[in-house]
């Protein structure tokens, strides 16, 4: 008879994954930098936008967890056309049926505008090239992009081929493109060749391979040719890549008859910089994606590079004004979030939490408004490289308030959103209120919460109200007579001064026996678009501007600030005084 016994489950010890030591000695300095002591690109500037080529629908699409459907591709294609792209790589028709079908849909349903050229990618292999031309049958104009890798690491370790064998692959690919294109004479064909991993290829060898390809295509005899120089894996500083581009442009044959294109990746975080310096080095054309989607850390972000040109007064020749819509479509089609600090498009890129930043932004904007003729409407604002309004962002995006914010940011919110232009001494007073509230809730404050704190501190003077009163000017001296409620008690006020405010304060001082002095006073009209203040009984037209008055009083040696709003300036200043008194008594 067998005996059955029960045991506690055995818990296997967790095995920690083995990691290689963090050892920099495993890596070597970049080995493919050309000798270019007389480089010229550092002395140049970009004065015109390059030709842009979007590769969102191919390079970007292949890097997605879930590749786009035909419907998503169509939505994306239409967006690229609206933005202004004239060259759009639509896919890899020989790689998948959905890619082939999308090409046919664009062509057969006439979705390609006359001024837009589609581009497709294909490896230098006969059956793939044949399938590619089948997908493009009937197209008006197209770029056929053929490539093979030329880098040393791929020659040695992936293909196990020598220099001549790799070059022969490129030559055969060029001949196959030429032969298939000849079968479709009604289409205007542009040939494009990429020595893939150009940046990791010996500079002289890259030139040799491209020269061999061009000996087949003969761009000097009229064939349109694009030579694309990819930093397939970004492995050097952007200045080294620029040297590679300039070296190539100097040594390649028939440079004047070819278009030099760049395709940079972002492995070192410098794809945009590399592309910009590459244009200085002689490139004519840039491939990239919107928001930089692509393999590993992504492609060069065309949005960033285009907006960089825009911020320097160079027409990017792309319409990025409806940036929020562009970002929404791109992120939905790619199913990828946008980082809140993504340049130009992130939620927080125009946002200042720092008090000193907020103050500088407010002062810059105020200066520009007051000196529009002197500034000639040229944008020059501290901490804001471009005007957010130019890409569809509101000024509410610029300044947001938390416990780190200062008086300038709070003043900016109140001025831009609610019409209150606080004088400096009032900014200091209210910033303390806002900072305390932000610390209490331990988070960013919404604009509505800032307004609520402002109103409850200065504009809701419960128990303090000015009743019937008369103000008379008697030979230069102003006499005030009236009634007011003070802590729920109705009292008579009578005082003298050189104006309505000083005579009212004199009357309050006489009645209370306190030492009252006006320290600061400021006023301004509130734009009709804002709704603060009460109307005079005889004034029913809400389009009339209202007044805001800011009062600072010394009450027995203590400082108190108040604000009043009204359609009447005199009434506004008296209400401001009541606001300050309500905090003092």
Rounded-to-integer distance, Cα 256 and Cα 249, Å: 9
Give the separation between CA 207 and CA 215, rounded to whole angstroms: 12
Instruction: Please identify which residue in the block is written with the tokens 């936008």.
Output: 49
Residues written for the chain: 585
Task: For residues 144 and 135, give the distance between their C-alpha atoms in angstroms, rounded to a whole number.
Answer: 11
| ∠ CA 431-435-441, rounded to 5° | 145
For 155, what's the count of Cα atoms within 13 Å in the CB-facing half-sphere? Answer: 21
Q: How many whole angstroms separate alpha carbon 122 and alpha carbon 181?
A: 14
Look-up of token digits 């005996």: 3
Alpha helices in 442-558 (DSSP H): 447-454, 500-512
Residue 59 annotated in ligand binding: yes
Our measurement of the distance from residue 560's CA atom to the centroid of its chain's CA atoms, rounded to an integer in Å, reads 42
CA atoms within 13 A on the CB side of 551: 33
Q: Name 546's bridge partners.
A: 526
State the DSSP H helix or E strand holding residue 146, giving kind and residue range, or none if neither: strand 141-149
Taking CA atoms, 299 is separated from 115, 142, 288, 493, 509, in Å, by 25, 22, 6, 75, 72
Q: Distance (Å, rounded) from C-alpha 73 to C-alpha 325?
A: 16
Q: What is the rounded CA–CA span in Å between residue 204 and residue 244? A: 10
265 annotated as ligand-binding: yes
Instruction: Please provide the DSSP assignment of 425-471 as one string.
Output: HHHHHHHHHHHHHHHHHTSPBPHHHHHHHHIIIII--TTEEEEEEEE
Minimal CA–CA distance to 277: which of 312, 310, 241? 241
Annotated binding site, which residues? 59, 263, 265, 299
Annotated binding site for Mg(2+), which residues? 59, 263, 265, 299
């Amino acid at each position: 008879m067998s005996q059955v016994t029960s045991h506690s489950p055995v818990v296997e010890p967790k095995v920690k994954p083995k990691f290689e030591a963090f050892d920099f000695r495993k890596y070597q300095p970049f080995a493919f930098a050309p000798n270019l002591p007389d480089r010229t690109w550092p002395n140049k500037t970009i004065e015109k936008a390059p030709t842009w080529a979007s590769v969102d629908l191919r390079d970007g699409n292949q890097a997605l967890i879930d590749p786009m459907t035909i419907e998503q591709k169509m939505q994306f294609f239409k967006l690229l056309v609206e933005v202004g792209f004239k060259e759009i790589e639509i896919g890899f028709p020989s790689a998948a049926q959905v890619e082939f079908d999308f090409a046919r849909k664009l062509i057969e349903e006439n979705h390609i505008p006359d001024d837009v050229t589609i581009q497709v990618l294909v490896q230098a292999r006969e059956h793939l090239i044949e399938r590619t031309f089948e997908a493009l049958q009937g197209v008006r104009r197209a770029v056929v992009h053929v490539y093979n890798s030329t880098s040393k690491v791929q020659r040695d370790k992936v293909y196990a081929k020598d220099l001549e064998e790799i070059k022969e692959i490129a030559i055969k690919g060029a001949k196959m493109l030429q032969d298939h294109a000849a079968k479709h004479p009604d289409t205007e064909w542009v040939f494009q060749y990429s020595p893939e991993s150009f940046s990791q290829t010996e500079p002289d060898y890259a030139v040799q391979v491209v020269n061999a390809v061009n000996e087949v295509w003969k761009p000097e005899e009229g064939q349109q040719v694009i030579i694309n120089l990819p930093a397939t894996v970004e492995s050097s500083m952007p200045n080294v890549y620029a040297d590679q581009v300039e070296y190539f442009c100097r040594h390649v044959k028939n440079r004047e008859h070819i278009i030099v294109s760049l395709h940079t990746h972002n492995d070192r975080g410098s794809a945009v910089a590399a592309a910009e310096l590459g244009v200085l080095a002689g490139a004519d054309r840039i491939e990239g994606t919107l928001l930089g989607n692509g393999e590993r850390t992504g492609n060069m972000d065309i949005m960033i590079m285009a907006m960089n040109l825009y911020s320097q007064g160079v027409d990017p020749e792309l319409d990025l004004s409806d940036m929020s819509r562009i970002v929404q479509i791109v992120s939905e089609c790619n199913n990828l979030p946008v980082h809140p600090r993504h340049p130009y498009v992130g939620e927080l890129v125009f946002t200042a939490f720092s008090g000193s930043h907020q103050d500088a932004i407010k002062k810059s904007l105020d200066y520009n408004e007051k000196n529009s003729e002197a500034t000639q409407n040229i944008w020059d604002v501290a901490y804001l490289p471009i005007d957010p309004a130019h890409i569809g962002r509101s000024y509410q995006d610029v300044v947001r308030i938390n416990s780190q914010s200062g008086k300038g940011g709070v003043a900016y919110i109140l001025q831009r959103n609610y019409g209150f232009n606080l004088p400096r001494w009032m900014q200091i007073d209210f910033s303390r209120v806002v900072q305390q509230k932000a610390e209490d809730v331990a988070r960013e404050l919404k604009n509505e919460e800032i307004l609520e704190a402002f109103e409850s501190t200065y504009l809701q003077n419960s128990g303090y109200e000015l009743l019937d009163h008369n103000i008379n000017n008697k030979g230069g001296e102003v006499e005030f007579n009236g009634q007011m409620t003070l802590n729920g008690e109705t009292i008579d006020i009578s005082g003298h001064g050189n104006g309505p405010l000083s005579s009212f304060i004199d009357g309050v001082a006489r009645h209370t026996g306190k030492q009252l002095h006006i320290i600061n006073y400021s006023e301004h009209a509130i734009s009709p678009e804002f709704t603060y203040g009460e109307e005079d009984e005889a004034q029913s037209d809400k389009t009339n501007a209202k007044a805001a008055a800011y009062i600072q009083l010394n009450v027995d040696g203590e400082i108190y600030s108040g604000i009043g709003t009204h359609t009447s300036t005199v009434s506004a200043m008296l209400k401001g005084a009541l606001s300050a008194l309500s905090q003092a008594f």
